[in-house]
Amino acid sequence: MKFGGTSVADIDRIRNVARHVKREVDAGHQVAVVTSAMAGTTNRLVEWCREAAVLHDAREYDAVVASGEQITAGLLAMTLEAMGITARSWQGWQLPIYTSEAHATARILDINGAELIARFKERNEVAVITGFQGVHRETGRITTLGRGGSDTSAVAIAAAIAAERCDIYTDVDGVYTTDPRVVPRAQRLDKIAFEEMLELASQGAKVLQVRSVELGMVHNVRIFVRSSFDKPEDIDPHATPPGTLICDEGEIMEQQVVTGIAFSKDEAQISVRRIEDKPGVAAAIFVPLAEANINVDMIVQNVSADGATTDLTFTVPAADFDRAKDTLNKAKSTIGYERVDGATDVTKVSVIGIGMRSHAGVAARAFQALAERRINIRAITTSEIKFSLLIDSAFTELAVRTLHSLYGLDKA
Ligand code: ADP
Ligand code: ASP
Ligand code: MG
């Protein structure tokens, strides 16, 4: 059972979470619980780091931002004990959850599941585990898994103890066809395939961290997204509650062509104008960006008409926009271009569905619908089960709603 930030935002909510845990324990289930920090806490900790020193050591950043989860794990264990349920809190280093050394973006390497199971048996207590954090074995330093990383902690622990299910309790009652806060007519999906969820999450739907879906897919963990706001006492622990199961494609009977729409406003567009059209230019542009650890996403290049010069457009995370421009500036003489243009007021809208593999013309319908709304498309990329469009941010809501109805996803 994993509980997100809004679900543990104050003592009342933590008490509510404890009642969810009690319900499962009373029903005879053995549960491990993963907690996030209280809503807003991690943001505040990140902000403090920035205020203390703009260029800070990532090891100390992790020491600071991992602290939010320590508080909620302790508070939940206390609350459970007060309800008569034996419980103990565990931090990443105590369990231990071993990770890579990539501070702030660490990956989980190893969790000793057998040891955890033995502890369950021996002490018969609920383990309340801090999400988002682990420890690097060799240096002994605390690490964190990237924003939203508690989902990943939960799925990794579920895999390690071979849990029957990994329930992700959040502030919505499942995965919707698009963010229900933007499109009120979005519908909850009963099931979604791992591959589709992976695309939704990586294209901007923050309901699950991407890495958690990857882990679930590799280790075959049944991930179930559900609401923590449902009254614990009203739920029958033996019945299927409302929520969304992330599962194998084969388990989904009725497959729509389009399953969901995701969008991300954290994009920036860069256009390199009048570069020489010759072998090696793409490398001259993208190698320095890769070396600067800047993730390039959409790439659009034309074939020049005169065989002399062309333009190249690509996107980077908005947070890396200035660094990317700076990197290109420094490499100007080796690349050889006239100028660099850029924009940060852009949004990437992605349409996702396994059904696209076997249907033609899915994207073409979107181009037409957006044209009718006079929304200009700056760049396009496609893959087997997804296509993405870069548009002006001002049109985000209109574009998402238009595509949502176009593909028949609106709730009646
Ligand atoms: P938690 O703190 O529980 O981890 P998050 O804020 O990380 O919760 O994720 C839940 C939020 O994800 C929801 O409040 C919702 O606004 C957003 N979201 C974005 N896309 C979707 C989607 N397709 N389905 C459900 N929620 C979505
Ligand atoms: N507290 C962390 C964050 O806000 C991890 C999480 O909530 O999943 O990113
Ligand atoms: Mg989250």
Side-chain half-sphere CA neighbours of 160 within 13 A? 22
170 lines ligand 2 (CB under 6 A): no
Q: Which of 411, 361, 372 is nearest to 395 (CA)?
A: 372
The type of residue at 301 is Q
Distances (CA, A) of 259 to 190, 268, 404: 11, 26, 10
pLDDT at res. 240: 86
Q: Is residue 4 helix, strand or coil?
A: coil
C-beta 409 within 6 A of ligand 1: no
- What is the layout of strands, in order, in the sheet containing 191-193? 87-90, 126-130, 32-35, 2-3, 166-170, 223-227, 244-247, 191-193
- Is 3 close to ligand 2, i.e. is its CB under 6 Å away? no
pLDDT of residue 98: 98
Question: Cα(134)–Cα(122) distance, rounded to whole angstroms?
Answer: 24
Alpha carbon 289 to chain centroid, angstroms? 23
CA dist., res. 179 & res. 351, Å (int): 13
Protein residue whose Cα sits closest to atom 21 of ligand 1: 179
Q: Which domains does the chain have, with CATH numbers?
A: 2-250 (3.40.1160.10), 261-406 (3.30.2130.10)
Q: How far apart are CA 142 and CA 106, in angstroms?
A: 10
pLDDT of the chain along its 412 residues, tens only? Answer: 999 999 999 999 999 999 999 999 999 999 999 999 999 999 999 999 999 998 999 999 999 999 999 999 999 999 999 999 999 999 999 999 999 999 999 999 999 898 888 888 888 899 999 999 999 999 999 999 999 999 999 999 999 999 999 999 999 999 999 999 999 999 999 999 999 999 999 999 999 999 999 999 999 999 999 999 988 888 888 888 999 999 999 999 877 899 999 999 999 999 999 999 889 999 999 999 999 989 999 999 888 888 889 999 999 999 999 999 999 999 999 999 999 999 999 999 999 999 999 999 999 999 999 999 999 999 999 999 999 999 999 999 999 999 999 999 999 8
What is the predicted pLDDT for the residue at 253?
Answer: 83
Dihedral sign for Cα 298, 304, 305, 309, please: positive
Residue type, 101: E
Ligand 2 probe mutation, 150, 153, 213, most atoms within 8 A of CB: 150
Q: 351-372: b or e for each residue (b if 16 or more CB lie within 10 Å)?
A: bbbbbbeeeeebbeebeebbee
Q: Which atom of ligand 1 is nearest to the CA of 169?
A: 3
Q: Which atom of ligand 2 is nearest to the CA of 150?
A: 8
Ligand nearest to the CA of 206: 1
- How wide is the angle at C-alpha 67 spanned by C-alphas 175 and 123, nearest 5°? 80
**Does ligand 1 lie within 6 Å of residue 179's CB atom?**
yes
Ligand 2 pocket, residue 5 CB under 6 Å: yes
Taking a C-beta distance cutoff of 8 angstroms, is the pair 252, 258 a contact? no
Q: How far is the CA of 342 from the centre of ligand 3 (A)?
A: 30
> In angstroms, rounded to a whole number, what is the distance separating the alpha carbons of residues 89 and 243?
27
* 148 CA to centre of ligand 2 in angstroms: 4
Report the C-alpha gap between 39 and 149 in whole angstroms: 14
Neighbours of 31 (CB within 10 A): 20
Per-residue model confidence (pLDDT) at position 305: 81
pLDDT at 213: 98
Q: Are 393 and 318 in contact (CB under 8 A)?
A: no
Q: What tokens does 267 get?
A: 């994009």
Give the ligand whose atoms come closest to the C-alpha of residue 41.
2
Q: How many of the other CB atoms lie within 10 Å of CB of 84?
A: 8
Question: In Å, how far from its chain's centre is CA 342?
Answer: 26
Measure the CA–CA gap between 31 and 207, rounded to whole angstroms: 22
Q: What was the pLDDT predicted at 256?
A: 86
* Rg of the chain over all Cα atoms, to the nearest angstrom: 23
Q: pLDDT value at position 233?
A: 87
Q: How far apart are CA 98 and CA 353, in angstroms?
A: 35
Element (H, E) at 34: strand 32-35
